[in-house]
Amino acid sequence: MKEPILVVLAAGMGSRYGGLKQMDKLGSNGEALLDYSVFDALRSGFKKIIFIIRHDIEKDFREIVLARMGSAVPYSLAFQDLDSLIPPDIWQEVQKLGRTKPWGTSHALLCAADQIDAPFAVINADDFYGREAYTVLGNYLSSLSTASAEASVDASADAAIVPYRLEPTLSPQGSVARGVCEVKEGCLISVEELLAIKKEGNVIYNTNPDTTKRELAPDTPVSMNFWGFPEGILPEFKKYFDTFINASFRDIKSECYIPRAADHFIKQGIIRIRSLPANSEWFGVTYKDDKAAAVRRIAELTAQGVYPARLW
């Protein structure tokens, strides 16, 4: 039996936040949101953490995050850089175009593929998902590993997502991107990445690329990048990314998102993705002005005894 791995996407540039939000201090002892994710994961059956970062933030990440965790966290680092996994001929063209934006979450995941040898979860570093979600997904990934070890099922056949209600994931500071999920009989049927969702008055809507608006229900299930996969899916991610990079490298703002890859896998019959219900709270920091609310909520959870005053 292989114990599940937690993959933390921490290579973002924080353009809307105005800084490296994955390392911003929100807890009373300088903890970032990813500290609480790791704390919850280690208490929910995950035994290894892989942080995906960029080489240019490695020094700060080691000094600010890893030094705080010390020996309490079994971790390794993977690096997502602009030239990672990019064919040399395409990379030459990309350099001429002047791209600075990372290639997205699917690309980030692939940068850690050589370290993933067990069922794994993928999360954003700047999101708080709640311990209940880690428990549900950790148990599910452990069951995949057990089934594979017993050779009773094909462990590559199932993945999972823990979706969240749309309304609580919105920011009063501006629009957000969310993967809108369609769920039927406990399985994900489709996931559509919408990039400009916001609430005005009592109405939630996405502004489409052609400037038309699409209204969304408050209880719409959405992906917050809380996924669980068997390790056997990684070659399919590589095929998907290779197709993406060949088709889209000239667009300097294009990104290869995990929700879009998941939607492709579903529609091609490559994998089934179960929707796992969890009575779990989400909050995050998309914009700088989101920080105060996150700090208050962490302080409340600490006062309630959900977390110790000092995590590590």
- For residue 156, the model assigns a pLDDT of 46
**Domains of the chain by range and CATH?**
5-163+223-267+277-303 (3.90.550.10)
**Which of the four pLDDT bands, split at 50, 70 and 90, describes residue 13?**
low
Separation of alpha carbons 216 and 227, rounded Å: 22
The residue among 202, 198, 204 whose CA lies nearest residue 172 is: 198
Q: Which tokens belong to 146? A: 């057990």
Lowest mean pLDDT among 134-148, 164-178, 254-268: 134-148
Q: CA-CA distance, 223 to 183, in Å (whole number)?
A: 11
- Give residue 1's pLDDT: 67
* Cβ-based neighbours of 307, under 8 Å, separated by 6 or more: 36, 39, 298, 301
Tokens of 147: 């089934």
* Mean of all residue pLDDT scores within the chain: 91
First to last CA, the chain: 28
pLDDT at 155: 41
Report, as an integer, the average pLDDT of 252-256: 94
CA-closest candidate to residue 149, choices 119, 109, 172, 123 = 119
- Parallel/antiparallel/unpaired status of strands 75-79 and 120-124: unpaired
CA-based R_g, the chain, Å: 19
Q: Tens digits of per-residue pLDDT, 197-211?
A: 999 999 999 999 999
* pLDDT bracket for residue 271 (50, 70, 90): very high
Question: In angstroms, rounded to a whole number, what is the distance separating the alpha carbons of residues 157 and 138?
Answer: 17
Q: Give the rounded percent of residues in the chain with a pLDDT score beyond 90.
A: 82
